[in-house]
């Protein structure tokens, strides 16, 4: 966001309290993978339109707050970073400047939580002295630079003038802005986008559990259901739905209902289904070993895919399904090896697994008893799977969490069993 705004001509100061992240950014080394970001960051640093600091000491015309808004284990939103950031902005805020909230927040937070902090710290009044809008971040990780310039920007303000000002700021960057007349509507739009997505994935995943009980391939069922049928496309199932946003946003959406005395049902059940898929995956692994009268203890298991998704590619492993799978594999006593085409190898090693990179994939497959494909990275289609699978111990398990490969083709290698999320053995 910061370098994209710099790239359309704004003079941008990026503020982050994490000194390691700051140091990396100032060396033009982003701490996450995003297509095109590194050269753009390098260019904007060199041009002097973008710089980064750990404190906000000077006034600006526009302030954008995009700090993290995690939830507790019970799904309750934690707004500490938001409070600190609002205090920081409030201390330098002047008349006729605009504050934009970009973090995903519980409905009502901009008006009831952030605005009072800004007013207290600045001594000014929102709407009268300064402008404030909520304009959610809706880009997908891995394609953020592209989507910042193509997705419509949702804008809800404390008043018309705030919205008009925000539209003018965003017009240089994005082709469309959608004004929703009010802070709360814009906050809700963001929560709707991710919560609907999570619930629809839950439908597909529950379908996979039902299909599995019937020995049916849910991927084929979904493809047939969608084929030429113009209503309600059903998403494909998966080994679970992870990622920093999907793991929390449905709970923040639920908090909007609870704040007004309504107890939402669907997003809670959706989360339950999407998080229990990992037990289904672990069950497939232990079932494979018990069917062959083998103990999983000491067996070598290679997990492919630590980033929470493969497409579009990201290095982000936060809240990925694989992180939930690791303790289950370790509980079985398995010796876990890990590979990811985009995630940082040291980050994977820090999880207590043996790591391989794309140059040493053979080592990961060599004498493995099971290989589990846990995200849908497109590069898996380009590896020489047959040569690699031939290195496995027999019987060997190839678990294809995204049904990227053909059961028929894989099982041409004698002694290798192909297992997906659902389907006949």
Ligand X SMILES: NC(=O)c1ccc[n+]([C@@H]2O[C@H](COP(=O)([O-])OP(=O)(O)OC[C@H]3O[C@@H](n4cnc5c(N)ncnc54)[C@H](O)[C@@H]3O)[C@@H](O)[C@H]2O)c1
DSSP 288-337: HHHHTT---TT-EEEEE--SS-TTTT----TT-HHHHHHHHHHHTT-EEE
Segment near ligand X (CB under 6 A), from 14-22, 304-312, 358-366, 415-423? 14-22
Is residue 17 a contact residue for ligand X (CB under 6 A)?
A: yes
Q: How far is the CB of 63 from ligand X (least distance, A)?
A: 11
Residue 26's CB is within 10 A of a number of other CB atoms, namely 14
Instruction: Candidates 1, 8, 13, 21: give the one binding ligand X (CB under 6 A).
Output: 21
Whether 155 and 178 have beta carbons less than 8 Å apart is answered as yes
Instruction: Classify burial at 123, counting beta carbons within 10 Å of its beta carbon; exposed 0-12, middle 13-18, buried 19 or more.
Output: exposed
Instruction: Candidates 104, 122, 274, 355: give the one binding ligand X (CB under 6 A).
Output: 104
> Of 92 and 276, which CB lies nearer to ligand X in the complex structure?
92
Instruction: Candidates 3, 6, 15, 372: give the one binding ligand X (CB under 6 A).
Output: 15
The rounded distance, in Å, linking the Cα atoms of 212 and 225 is 17
Is residue 16 a contact residue for ligand X (CB under 6 A)?
A: yes
Q: How far is the CB of 168 from ligand X (least distance, A)?
A: 23
Instruction: Candidates 2, 4, 28, 141: give the one binding ligand X (CB under 6 A).
Output: 141
Whether 79 and 226 have beta carbons less than 8 Å apart is answered as no
Is residue 66 a contact residue for ligand X (CB under 6 A)?
A: yes
Closest CA to 11 of 51, 41, 58, 67: 51
Give the CA count within 13 Å in the CB-facing half-sphere of 140: 15
The site that binds ligand X (CB under 6 A) totals a number of residues, namely 21
The rounded distance, in Å, linking the Cα atoms of 236 and 353 is 29
Segment near ligand X (CB under 6 A), from 9-17, 147-155, 333-341, 347-355? 9-17
> Of 17 and 171, which CB lies nearer to ligand X in the complex structure?
17
3 state SS of 97: coil
> Of 245 and 385, which CB lies nearer to ligand X in the complex structure?
245
Q: How far is the CB of 39 from ligand X (least distance, A)?
A: 20
Instruction: Candidates 33, 51, 84, 111: give the one binding ligand X (CB under 6 A).
Output: 84
Closest CA to 118 of 142, 102, 95: 95
The rounded distance, in Å, linking the Cα atoms of 306 and 12 is 33
| Helix/strand/coil percent split, the chain, to 5 | 45, 15, 45
- Which pairing describes strands 131-134 and 153-157: parallel, antiparallel, or unpaired? antiparallel
> Of 142 and 396, which CB lies nearer to ligand X in the complex structure?
142
Is residue 67 a contact residue for ligand X (CB under 6 A)?
A: yes
Helical H segments across 214-248, by residue range? 218-226
Segment near ligand X (CB under 6 A), from 65-73, 220-228, 233-241, 359-367? 65-73
Is residue 193 a contact residue for ligand X (CB under 6 A)?
A: no
User: Which residue in the block uniquely carries the two structure tokens 């049916």?
Assistant: 216
Segment near ligand X (CB under 6 A), from 67-75, 268-276, 303-311, 330-338? 67-75
| Nearest position to ligand X, beta carbon | 68
Instruction: Candidates 71, 85, 326, 397: give the one binding ligand X (CB under 6 A).
Output: 85
The rounded distance, in Å, linking the Cα atoms of 316 and 152 is 24
Q: How far is the CB of 309 from ligand X (least distance, A)?
A: 11
Q: Which of residues 244-273 bind ligand X (CB under 6 A)?
A: 244-245
Instruction: Candidates 10, 38, 76, 81: give the one binding ligand X (CB under 6 A).
Output: 81
Annotate each residue in 211-250 with x if it binds ligand X (CB under 6 A) or - if it does not, as one string.
---------------------------------xx-----
Give the Å distances, CA to CA, from 120 to 92, 113, 116, 228: 12, 11, 6, 58
Locate 183 and state its tokens. Answer: 């802070």
Is residue 103 a contact residue for ligand X (CB under 6 A)?
A: yes
Instruction: Candidates 28, 41, 99, 137: give the one binding ligand X (CB under 6 A).
Output: 137
Q: How far is the CB of 17 from ligand X (least distance, A)?
A: 4
Segment near ligand X (CB under 6 A), from 80-88, 301-309, 370-378, 417-425? 80-88
DSSP 396-424: EEEEETT--S-HHHHTTSTTEEEEESSS-
Locate 281 and state its tokens. Answer: 């995956």
Is residue 92 a contact residue for ligand X (CB under 6 A)?
A: no
> Of 318 and 330, which CB lies nearer to ligand X in the complex structure?
318
Is residue 7 a contact residue for ligand X (CB under 6 A)?
A: no
Residues that bind ligand X (CB under 6 A): 15-18, 21, 66-69, 81, 84-85, 88, 103-104, 137-139, 141, 244-245
């Amino acid at each position: 966001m910061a370098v994209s705004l710099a790239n359309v001509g704004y003079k941008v100061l990026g503020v982050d309290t994490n000194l390691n992240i700051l140091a990396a950014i100032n060396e033009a080394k982003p701490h996450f993978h995003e297509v095109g970001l590194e050269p753009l960051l390098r260019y904007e640093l060199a041009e002097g339109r973008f710089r980064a600091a750990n404190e906000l000491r000077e006034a600006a015309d526009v302030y954008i707050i995009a700090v993290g808004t995690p939830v507790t284990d019970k799904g309750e939103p934690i707004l500490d970073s938001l409070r600190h950031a609002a205090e920081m902005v409030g201390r330098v805020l002047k008349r006729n400047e605009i504050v934009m909230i970009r973090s995903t927040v519980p409905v009502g937070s901009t008006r009831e939580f952030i605005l009072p902090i800004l007013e207290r710290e600045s001594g000014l009044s929102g709407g009268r002295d300064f402008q404030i809008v909520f304009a959610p971040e809706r880009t997908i990780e891995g394609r953020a630079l592209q989507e910042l310039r193509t997705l419509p920007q949702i804008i809800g303000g404390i008043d018309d003038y705030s919205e008009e000002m925000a539209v003018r700021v965003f017009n240089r960057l994005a082709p469309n802005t959608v004004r929703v007349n009010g802070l709360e509507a814009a906050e809700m739009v963001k929560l709707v986008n991710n919560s609907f997505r999570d619930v629809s994935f839950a439908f597909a995943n529950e379908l996979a559990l039902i299909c599995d009980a019937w020995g049916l391939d849910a991927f084929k069922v979904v493809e047939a259901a969608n084929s030429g049928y113009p209503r309600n496309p059903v998403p494909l199932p998966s080994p679970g739905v992870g990622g920093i946003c999907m793991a929390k946003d449905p709970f923040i959406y639920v908090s909007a209902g609870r704040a007004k005395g309504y107890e939402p049902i669907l997003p809670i059940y959706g989360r339950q289904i999407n998080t229990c898929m990992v037990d289904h995956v672990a069950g497939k692994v232990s079932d494979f070993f018990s069917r062959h009268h083998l103990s999983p203890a000491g067996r070598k298991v290679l997990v492919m895919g630590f980033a929470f998704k493969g497409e579009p590619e990201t290095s982000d492993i936060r809240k990925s399904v694989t992180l939930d799978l690791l303790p289950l594999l370790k509980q079985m006593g398995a010796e876990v090896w890990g590979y990811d085409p985009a995630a940082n190898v040291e980050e994977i090693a820090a999880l207590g697994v043996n790591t391989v990179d794309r140059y040493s994939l053979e080592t990961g497959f060599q004498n493995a008893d099971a290989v589990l494909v846990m995200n849908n990275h497109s590069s898996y289609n380009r590896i020489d799977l047959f040569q690699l699978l031939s290195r496995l111990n027999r019987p060997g398990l190839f678990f294809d969490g995204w049904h990227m490969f053909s059961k028929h083709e894989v099982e041409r290698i004698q002694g290798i069993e192909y297992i997906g999320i659902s389907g006949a053995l």
